[in-house]
Chains A and B, each alone.
Chain A
Amino acid sequence: MENRETVLRARKGDSEAFGRLIDERRESLYRTAYSFTKNRDDALDIVHDTVYKAFVSLPKLKNPDYFQTWLTRILINTAIDFTKKQKRAQPADTADIAAPTGSDNEERLDLYAAVDRLPEMQKAVVILKYLHDLTLTEVADILRCPPGTVKTHLHKALKTLRMELKEE
């Protein structure tokens, strides 16, 4: 539950209050950024830019109850912009990926890599829906597109993933 008072103080420039808001979300911010890049340094760059942009533009946030959605939007947009600029010629460095545990390591890596190969918007929808457990409406709110468009992206993403993972 959002601490409205903390958001209001952060909006006025209280960096300590803003720090507390970010601290509560640091793991989610980093892991989401990492989901896009599969690279520790790149994920840190995305987190840095997200936190910076959020603090600078926080005075424009009209409804403090909307803070989480607003912050996630900044994160996703920053991650998408970052990965577009990267223009990677080679696949993600699999040595850098936190090794999944259990006997199905290879399958998980395949899945991770398959998600990584999705176009940015489809990847964003998959990450927000499945890793953040958001509804399609909430995802649409963050990505600022109609729920129908989110459904289309999700449908295409799942179709691609099934084909790549050869699921019957």
Chain B
Amino acid sequence: MDQKVTDLKRSYEEVALADNLDDVIRQAIYKGQKRRRSAARCKMAGIMLLFALTAFTAGVNTVPAFADSLGRVPVLSQLAKVLQFRDGKATGGEITDGKTVGPVTREPDSVSERIVIPIYEGENPATVTNYFEATYSAYPYTLTLDLLGVRWFFDGGNFPSFADSQLVEGMQKLVVLDDSQQRLLITFKVPVDITVTQTTNPAGLTVDIRAKEEQLPPAYSVRTASYPFGEEVGSLEERIREALGYPAETIRMLADKNGKLFVEAGRFATEQEAEDMKAALLAKEGINFTLTVEKREPAQLPATVLQ
């Protein structure tokens, strides 16, 4: 029997590998990558959080496609689709890759703003918008756009100046440790109503912004220190996600009042709850950096916290 086992082993080792084995493996990894992103998005939508804040969902639009309640001419295109937000989130587009954020423009008027974000393929407008997720929240008021399948910026990520805007504080790139996607952050100065419209042929996103009245109590944010744009703050975000088990609803990357970036792990109605979360997080493996509890009004720009 021993000889036969040896023979069996030799036969096993002599099995010729299939020519396309490497292609099959690559396809499986790519499919797994898409599946993991999709699973993370499902978690964002449905996970039960220990520290959920139901009181702090900022108001978002449910405006029908051609209503003009924001006082703006709707995006005129048979292929325009107004996103419907639920709990501050909306998704759209199609899963693609290799897209570019085109030259971003703004069209202010006396009472509102319009920001146009075209999506390019190479040097020309794309036909179809990549898959994206839009998240709107307060403390401060922000719109975060996760653009999956977008790898580059047409002009290196230069955005228009909002210095004269009554509504928009600024727009900037966020750090993402995945070269197949980009993230944009639009920070607002006041509570706003927004409408996000997705267009096809040409592809892009249009964000219409108008001030609104809203009174919310202050919140207490558990956050990191402020960092310049770079891998370090991206790494902190990943470490916090891993420590908290990837509940993406509470974790945000934000810009402070000087344009530096930081990560917010969560925000709470009371200072005690925030301190408890901070202590729990610091006890986790891999969390060996500064965390601070910051009190913030709903439209207040975050402070710069030194490391």
What is the interface of chain A, defined by CB distance below 8 A to chain B? 12-13, 15, 18-19, 22-23, 26-27, 30-31, 34-35, 40, 43-44, 47-56, 59, 98, 100-101, 104, 107-108, 111-112, 115, 130-131, 158, 161-162, 165, 167
Contacts and interface: CB of A to CB of B under 8 A. Distances in A.
A26 B25 contact: yes
24 contacts: A12-B242, A13-B36, A18-B32, A19-B25, A22-B25, A30-B15, A30-B21, A35-B15, A47-B21, A48-B25, A48-B28, A51-B24, A52-B29, A52-B31, A52-B32, A53-B32, A55-B36, A56-B39, A100-B11, A108-B11, A112-B8, A112-B11, A130-B9, A131-B9
B213 interface: no
Question: Which secondary structure dominates where chain A touches chain B?
Answer: helix
A44 B20 contact: yes
Given A26-B22, A52-B35, A47 B28 contact: yes
A22 B29 contact: yes
Return the 7 tightest CB-CB contacts between A and B, nearest first. Answer: A55-B32, A51-B28, A52-B28, A98-B15, A48-B28, A131-B12, A52-B32
B24 A100 contact: no
Contacts of A44: 18, 20-21, 24
A85 to B, nearest CB: 18
B27 interface: yes
Contacts of B5: 130
A53 B8 CA distance: 29
B21 A56 contact: no
A153 to B, nearest CB: 16
A51 to B, nearest CB: 4
Contacts, number: 109
Question: Which secondary structure dominates where chain B touches chain A?
Answer: helix
Given A47-B21, A104-B7, A19 B29 contact: yes
B289 to A, nearest CB: 17
Contacts of A47: 21, 24-25, 28
Interface residues of B, number: 35
Given A100-B7, A100-B14, A48 B24 contact: yes
B178 interface: yes
B42 interface: no
Contact of A167 (B1, B20, B30): B1
A55 B33 contact: yes
B233 to A, nearest CB: 16
B43 to A, nearest CB: 11
